Structure formats: structure tokens, C-alpha cells
């Protein structure tokens, strides 16, 4: 703590940038600018490298276009033949495989012609080559229509987020844009479901089950939970993979789990389904009161209504969400406000957070809350941000998941970490060199309050129930 105070930065030098402005710490004025240090030197070289990468891509693309132009002028062969020749020359000159050369040519053409704004950003080091690769891959896969709609937002994300977070957020952005047609596409795709055997080597083989991804995650989660219970038995030496495979065979062949140890029986998977409450409400209003109410509710939510999402899978249709949230056990239902009665804090009563609080903390963060880390929250440890022995509470405001490595770094690596008050779980990491990195959780927990009754209410027998409005703190990102 004292070590860091000597090196305090001008907020905003830190990366990623802080678009919502948490404000400067009170001590920022007293200390002046951060002295130039080794990290600055690394940043400078990195910035030059990004710029060189952009120039290199432009040169590669110019080389390809020149070959086309020459071929046209001198009556050369087909496009395919020219491509082949260009690839061969580039591969020979760079001493890489033709496959790698082809990949470079494709990437260069995409950046220069399809995503010129991304190319400009790379050339002034607004993004890195990794960001550019992910942007091209995901937007190309989404098709020209979607990529035209989300391109600008994708670039803003790329310029703000570390690679892992950027990849997930771009995926979610594309999914949300595609969600409009999700139900139809799913209805077609589900008819492809089947089970197949693929022979392997040494008397082994694969059993492929092609089925809706939500169900498959539930299957895998149940097998994993059972395997973990079995692995705890004394004398058990099989790996988790082995036990999972054995449990799957036992279940499919015998159809029961009586041979399993007692604590592995009756395990059901829990899959978190996140359903934006307003989506379900709007849908119900549309079904109950006719198209007018539905359209009105949709318009109120803005253009792209947020689709329901299953943890680790992506969006699902509202119909499917309704089924999952309606009955079956084993689905952890998370409307995007805390479940009524959820334990948000036990103060100083208990050091160990209760299971429901641990689940909520993990769900909110999604990942390890260290800068750029992608370890899923369910493989993380739950950390008291302000340590228990320093008076920290056992509460949602004082817990974050951290993977083992980052948990150790937080406590012994000279970093200072605090949770930003009122931010809904954002952590501010101050590095030993004094840089600030703000890490936000994947999800926010909005609060709800009912609307005041409308000034001119419709006929009393058809009056709609008061519609809650969303009151997010901080504003959604």
C-alpha cells in the first residue's frame, strides 16, 4: 500500500480506458504525472509493432493487387492460378508454409478492404493484431449484414477491452444481433439431432450425440458432478475424464446409478439460465393482450431486445427459456435482478459466504476478476476484497472470484485491489508501478421499481399490471 502510493498514476494512463469515469482518487493531484518507467518503454515498442503490422498488411495487399493488375495487362491466367502464384512467392520469401501465406493474404485483404477502420486503428496502435484477428474472424463468420450493423461497436470494444474480454463481448454482440432469427434457425437445426458411433483405435471409439447445446451442457455438468463425488472416494485412482466416461456408460447401459457411491447418486446438473425480466414480461404482455401491447413493450426496450442466455452457451429462444424457467429442477433461474430472498450479505456473522452468495458472486463476474483473465468463475476461489481480518464483510460488495494464481498475486504481489463503491462489483487493480486497471464483472444486477400508474389508464378490466422499469447502477455497458 505505501509502496504504491509513491507511484500513483494520473488516472486514465491505466489501461483499459475508463469510459464511465469513476473519478480520480483524492490523492491524484498531489503526486503529478507518473515517471517514465520500464512499462512505458514496453508500451512504446508495442505501439510501434502494431503500427508496423498494419503497414505490413497494406504491403501484402498491394502485392496481391499488383499481381492481379499485371495478369490483366499481360493476359495472365485465371484468378485461382494467380492466387496460387502469389501465395507461393510470399511463402518462399517469408520462409513460411503456403497455408500461412494464404492466411496472411486473406487477413490483409480483410483489414484493408472490409474493415478499413480497424486497419487505421491498428496503424495508430488503438488495437493489437490479436484484436484485429478476432474481429475479422467473428465478423466474417457472422456475414456482411450483421458485420455492417455491429462493425462500429465491435471496434470500440476492441479499443477498450483486453483480448479475452473482447472475444466474449464481440461473440455476445453478434449473438444478440442474430437472436432475432434464433428461434427459426433452431427449429430447423434441431431436426438434425442424432447419435452416432465413430470407431477409434485400439478397440476404442467415440459416441457422438448431436443435440441441443443446453441439454448437452446439462449432461456434461451432471457427469462432472458425479465424477467429482466418485473421485473423493478413498482409493479411487481414475482421472476425472475416466470416471466421467465410465459414469456415462453406466447410465446409458444400466440406466441407474445404484452402483455409484451414495453421495454421487441423485446428482442433477445445475445450469444457469439468465432471462432478462423485461424480455419475459414483454413476451407475456404480447401473448396476453394482443399484438399492440407486445409491440409497445418491444419498442420500450429499444431495438435489440436482450435474448435469454444460458451460461457458457449463449442466447436461446424465449420459448426455450420459458420452458427451462417454468418447471424443470436443476436450472438455476437468474432473472436479471436478485432472486427474492437471495442472501446478499451476512456481514461479520460468518467468514465463509453461504452457497447462494457464492453462486451469485460467481454468476455476476462470469470470470476471474483479474485484468484480462479468462478462467471461468466456477473454477475460481471466492476472495474477500477487504480481508476478513481487516474488518471485511461477507457480502456481495466484498466478494469476487479470483483464480488461484491471481488470488496469490493479489495478496503477495504488491498489488492493491478495491471494489469500486456502487459499481456493481467492478474491481480497481493498482499495479506495483502505479497503473490502474478497472475490471468489470460480466453482468450487472439491476434494481427494479414499479412505474407510477399511467395518467390515462385504459378500461379497468383490461388494465395491464404496472410494468417495472429498469434502474441500472451503473449504466449498462
Report the phi/psi class of residue 366: left, alpha or beta, with left for phi > 0 and alpha for psi in -120 to 50: left
CB closer to Zn ion, 264 vs 373: 373
* Smaller CB separation from Zn ion, 370 or 417: 370
Name the residues that contact Zn ion, by CB under 5 A.
368, 370, 373, 375, 403, 406
Nearer to Zn ion, 267 or 426 (CB): 426
Minimum distance, C-beta of residue 437 to Zn ion, in the bound complex (Å): 13
CB of 418 to Zn ion, least distance (A): 17
Q: Which is nearer to Zn ion, 285 or 368 (CB)?
A: 368
Cβ nearer to Zn ion, comparing 276 with 371: 371
Nearer residue to Zn ion within complex by CB, 368 or 436:
368
Q: Name the minimum Å distance from CB 375 to Zn ion.
A: 5
CB of 233 to Zn ion, least distance (A): 30
Asked whether the beta carbons of 274 and 443 are under 8 A apart, the reply is: yes
Least distance to Zn ion, CB of residue 409, Å: 8
Report, in Å, the least distance between residue 219 CB and Zn ion. Answer: 28
- Closest separation in Å from C-beta 209 to Zn ion: 32
- Closest distance to Zn ion from the beta carbon of 372 (Å): 9
Question: Toward Zn ion, which CB reaches closer, 244 or 367?
Answer: 367
Residue closer to Zn ion by CB (options 146, 375) is: 375
Residue that has been written with the C-alpha cell 423485461 in this structure: 278
Nearest to 157 by CA among 144, 175, 173, 143: 173
User: In the complex with Zn ion, which residue's Cβ is closer, 58 or 375?
Assistant: 375
Q: Cβ of residue 165: shortest distance to Zn ion, in angstroms?
A: 12
Alpha carbons 266 and 244: distance in angstroms, whole number: 15
CA–CA distance, 82 with 66 (Å, rounded to integer): 11
Q: Which long-range contacts (CB under 8 A, 24 or more apart) does 472-475 make?
A: 472/444, 472/446, 472/447, 473/422, 473/424, 473/444, 473/446, 473/447, 474/20, 474/422, 474/423, 474/424, 474/444, 475/20
Amino acid at each position: 500500500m505505501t509502496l504504491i502510493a509513491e507511484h500513483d498514476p494520473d488516472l486514465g494512463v491505466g489501461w483499459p480506458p475508463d469510459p464511465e469515469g469513476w473519478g480520480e482518487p483524492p490523492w491524484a493531484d498531489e503526486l503529478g504525472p507518473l515517471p517514465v518507467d520500464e512499462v512505458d518503454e514496453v508500451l512504446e515498442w508495442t505501439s510501434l509493432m502494431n503500427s508496423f503490422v498494419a503497414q505490413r498488411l497494406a504491403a501484402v495487399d498491394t502485392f496481391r493487387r499488383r499481381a492481379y493488375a499485371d495478369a490483366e495487362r499481360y493476359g495472365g491466367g485465371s484468378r485461382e492460378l494467380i492466387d496460387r502464384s502469389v501465395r507461393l512467392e510470399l511463402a518462399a520469401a517469408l520462409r513460411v508454409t503456403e497455408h500461412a501465406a494464404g492466411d496472411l493474404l486473406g487477413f490483409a485483404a480483410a483489414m484493408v478492404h472490409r474493415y478499413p477502420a480497424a486497419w487505421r486503428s491498428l496503424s495508430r496502435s488503438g488495437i493489437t493484431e490479436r484484436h484485429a484477428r478476432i474481429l475479422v474472424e467473428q465478423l466474417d463468420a457472422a456475414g456482411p449484414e450483421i458485420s455492417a450493423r455491429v462493425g462500429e461497436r465491435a471496434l470500440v470494444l476492441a479499443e477498450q477491452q483486453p483480448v479475452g474480454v473482447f472475444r466474449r463481448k464481440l461473440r455476445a454482440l453478434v449473438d444478440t444481433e442474430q437472436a432475432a432469427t434464433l428461434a427459426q434457425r433452431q427449429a430447423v437445426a434441431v431436426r438434425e439431432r442424432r447419435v452416432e458411433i465413430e470407431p477409434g483405435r485400439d478397440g476404442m471409439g467415440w459416441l457422438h450425440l448431436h443435440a441441443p447445446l443446453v441439454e448437452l451442457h446439462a449432461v456434461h455438468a451432471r457427469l462432472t458432478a458425479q465424477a467429482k463425488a466418485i473421485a473423493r472416494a478413498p482409493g479411487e485412482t481414475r482421472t476425472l475424464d475416466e470416471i466421467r466416461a465410465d459414469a456415462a456408460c453406466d447410465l446409458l447401459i444400466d440406466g441407474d446409478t445404484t452402483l455409484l457411491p451414495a453421495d454421487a447418486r441423485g446428482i442433477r446438473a445445475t445450469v444457469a439460465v439468465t432471462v432478462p425480466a423485461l424480455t419475459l414480461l414483454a413476451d407475456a404482455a404480447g401473448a396476453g393482450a394482443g399484438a399492440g401491447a407486445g409491440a409497445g413493450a418491444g419498442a420500450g426496450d429499444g431495438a435489440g431486445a436482450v435474448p435469454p442466455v444460458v451460461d457458457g452457451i449463449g442466447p436461446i429462444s424465449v420459448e426455450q427459456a420459458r420452458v427451462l424457467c417454468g418447471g424443470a429442477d436443476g436450472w438455476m433461474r437468474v432473472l436479471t435482478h436478485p432472486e427474492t430472498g437471495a442472501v446478499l450479505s451476512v456481514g461479520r456473522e460468518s467468514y465463509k459466504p453461504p452457497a447462494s452468495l457464492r453462486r451469485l458472486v460467481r454468476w455476476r463476474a462470469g470470470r476471474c476478476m483479474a485484468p484480462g483473465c479468462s478462467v471461468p468463475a466456477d473454477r475460481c476461489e471466492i476472495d474477500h476484497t477487504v480481508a476478513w481480518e481487516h474488518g471485511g464483510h461477507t457480502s456481495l460488495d466484498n466478494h469476487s472470484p479470483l483464480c488461484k494464481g491471481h488470488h496469490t498475486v493479489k495478496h503477495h504481489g504488491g498489488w492493491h485491489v478495491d471494489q469500486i463503491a456502487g459499481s456493481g462489483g467492478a474491481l480497481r487493480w493498482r499495479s506495483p508501478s502505479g497503473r490502474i486497471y478497472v475490471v468489470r464483472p460480466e453482468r450487472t444486477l439491476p434494481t427494479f421499481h414499479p412505474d407510477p400508474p399511467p395518467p390515462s389508464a385504459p378500461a379497468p378490466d383490461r388494465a395491464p399490471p404496472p410494468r417495472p422499469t429498469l434502474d441500472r447502477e451503473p449504466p449498462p455497458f
